[in-house]
Structures are given as C-alpha cells and as structure tokens.
Amino acid sequence: MAIKENAIIKENIEISPGIFSMKIKCEGAKEASCGQFVSLYLHDKTKILPRPISICEIDKEKTELRLVYRVAGKGTKEISGYAEGEEIEILGPLGEGYYREDGFIGFDKEKTKTVLLVGGGIGIPPMVGTAAALKEVDYSLNIISVMGYRDADTFLTEELKRYGELYIATDDGSIGTKGNVIDAIKENNVTADLIYSCGPKVMLNALNSFAKEKDIPLYVSMEERMACGVGACLACVCGDKKRVCKDGPVFMAEEVL
C-alpha cells in the first residue's frame, strides 16, 4: 500500500560520476518489494511533479530504503544536494515489481534453478534488491548478473557479487566485454531458466529476441516518463494500454515489447 509521508534522509552520496545513493528512513519500507519505486517531491514547490526513483535495496528491520539515481535534470540535481538529516516528502512504494502477493512472477521453485538478472545504466539498481530477495526465497538458487555500463565508471558491482556471478559489458570495452549485455551473455555462454531485466528499451528489445531464441521466460521493468505515478494521468502508457506506474513497471516481455 502506498504511503505519503515525510522520510528522513540517512545518506545521500555520489558513488560514481553523476550517480547518487540515497538512504531514507520511512514507514513505506515495511511494505516495499523488489522492482517497485517511490516518488520523491522536491523542496522547490515550483517543480510540481514528483521524481520516480526505483528501489535499490530494502531494509525492513531498519525501515530504510536505498535509492540509486542518476542526475539527469534540474529535479534530480536538486535532490542530489539534499543532506543527511533532512526530510523529503515521498509517496510509495508504488507499482507492481518482480515479487507479487503469490511470490516471484514467473518463478517455479521446482523448475527454476538459475535466474539471469540483466540491467543497463540506471536499470541496474533494482537488480540488487531483486537478487537479495531471490536469495531469501531460495539460498541455493544460482543467480547470474549481466550489467551494461557506458565505461569503467561502474557502480553497485560489489553488491551484485554478493549474490552470484557478475559479468560486465561496457560501450568502450574498458571493463569486461566490449559491447552490450547480449554480447556479454554470448561471450560468457550464459544461460538461465528465467530472466528479470531493467534498462533502456533498445536493450530490452535485444534481450527479448535472445530470450525468444533460447525459449527463456523474460520479465522486464519499463523505464517511462511519469507524471502522477498512481495510474490516473495515463502519461506512462505502453504496450496494450498498460500503465507503467500502476500495472507495472514489471511486465512479461510479450505484453509491452
């Protein structure tokens, strides 16, 4: 259930050029699950619309959420300047993530032995919390992460390594495979029983082709511009009239690609 509240900022630090990690203490953390997001309201009230940020990690015991975001405009630039101890108004958790009321979407405990997590750019953060939640469901589960970055300025790699193998693709080849995530998957002969992913549409479309070729179920988290964040304004509709903020952001690939 989404809660509108004033959260307390516990940390807001730059972890890679232009990439910030914010930890907030909030009651909404008790209800959050991997793949969901929260909307952050700016102190500058001339900027009316909140900024949707995906949830990276969840600590229910401390009632804290970790949000990892890229400074991409005036709104996120302002957020990056908020200090520890400040309050920030939030609405969340929002959306339908990888984990639903009856468990992980598409996950069969008897048949699913290896899960492939694929992230690109700012689609990488939600993969950390997803990996952690998968391990809580089945510690013996084999988790393989393939992440795409622009260059050697990577982030969240140590967190992902906690849960299994990590392969990296970079546009310039400075680390890992030169190219995209599909190049890294093929170079390392990666296969799986289920794929969860988040990133730009071009990456998701390429991954969809790969998944169809290998007959692997694929679930994608869509990145779309949002306004209300609760399904009322229809600004983020994709696929067959699916609202990313309310019906997603996680969908079966065939629904939206």
Residues 121 and 90 placed together within one structural domain of the fold: no
Residues 80 and 132 placed together within one structural domain of the fold: no
Residues 103 and 88 placed together within one structural domain of the fold: no
Residues 170 and 154 placed together within one structural domain of the fold: yes
End residue of a domain, out of 94, 121, 149? 94
Say how many CA atoms lie within 13 Å of 171 toward its Cβ: 8
Encoded tokens for 14? 């730059």
Whole domain around residue 90: which residue ranges? 3-94
Residues 116 and 227 placed together within one structural domain of the fold: yes
Specify the pLDDT at position 43.
95
pTM: 0.94
Specify the pLDDT at position 237.
67
Residues 147 and 226 placed together within one structural domain of the fold: yes
In this predicted structure, the answer to whether residue 99 has a pLDDT above a threshold of 80 is yes
- The tens digit of pLDDT for each residue in 107-142 reads 998 999 999 999 999 999 999 999 999 999 999 999
In this predicted structure, the answer to whether residue 231 has a pLDDT above a threshold of 70 is no
* CATH number where 110 lies: 3.40.50.80
Specify the pLDDT at position 225.
60
Rounded to 10 degrees, the C-alpha dihedral 16/65/7/72 comes to 30
Query: In the chain, pLDDT over 90 holds for what percent of residues?
Result: 84
End residue of a domain, out of 71, 94, 117? 94
In this predicted structure, the answer to whether residue 235 has a pLDDT above a threshold of 60 is no
Count of domains forming the chain? 2
- The tens digit of pLDDT for each residue in 71-80 reads 999 999 999 9
Specify the pLDDT at position 256.
81
End residue of a domain, out of 51, 67, 94? 94
- The tens digit of pLDDT for each residue in 198-226 reads 999 999 999 999 999 999 999 999 876 65
Residues 64 and 161 placed together within one structural domain of the fold: no
Cβ–Cβ < 8 Å for 10, 84: yes
* CATH number where 51 lies: 2.40.30.10
Residues 53-69 have a mean pLDDT of 98
Report angle CA 135, 257, 242 to the nearest 5 degrees: 85
Residues 150 and 225 placed together within one structural domain of the fold: yes
Residues 131 and 63 placed together within one structural domain of the fold: no
Residues 90 and 103 placed together within one structural domain of the fold: no
Residues 117 and 65 placed together within one structural domain of the fold: no
Cβ–Cβ < 8 Å for 16, 107: no
Of 242 and 51, the structure prediction assigns the larger pLDDT to 51
Residues 238-245 have a mean pLDDT of 68
When the pLDDT of each residue in the chain is averaged and rounded to a whole number, the result is: 93
Residues 148 and 245 placed together within one structural domain of the fold: yes
